[in-house]
Amino acid sequence: MYDSVVEFVENYLSLVYRREVDNGRRVWCQEWWKHAEAVARLDAMWRTWEHYRLDCNTGLSVWFLDHADPHMRVLFDLDGPFQYCSIKSGHSDQISPLPLKSPPSGLFRLS
């Protein structure tokens, strides 16, 4: 139904998930596309929605319970990817990627 995650977020998700944000309980970033985790989660939600919408029996219920609600809880969470963003101040890119140290060469082989 939607040709992209942007269309899905703008024309469906933002209308269905009406919540107060910046209220000390939930956060949201108007520039959600600048957050890799948000893009990955919202893209997954869009793709699964496109699949489950075709099941006229329990499809959307399954989508909400198994996909949308868990992802939206993380996205709205005060410690989630939008942690330093606000509607008033806008987007913030203060969260650094997880620190990593590469494993020894050959530790994870496919054979």
Give the pLDDT band (50/70/90) at residue 83.
very high
Residue 5 reports pLDDT greater than 90 = yes
The half-sphere exposure of 36 on its side-chain side, counting CA atoms within 13 A, is: 5
Which pLDDT score is estimated for 52? 98
Q: What is the pTM of this model?
A: 0.90
Among 99, 31, 33, 41, CA closest to 74:
41
CA–CA gap between residue 72 and residue 74 (Å, rounded): 5
The mean pLDDT of 46-70, rounded to a whole number, is: 98
CB neighbour class for 28 (10 Å; exposed up to 12, middle 13-18, buried from 19): buried
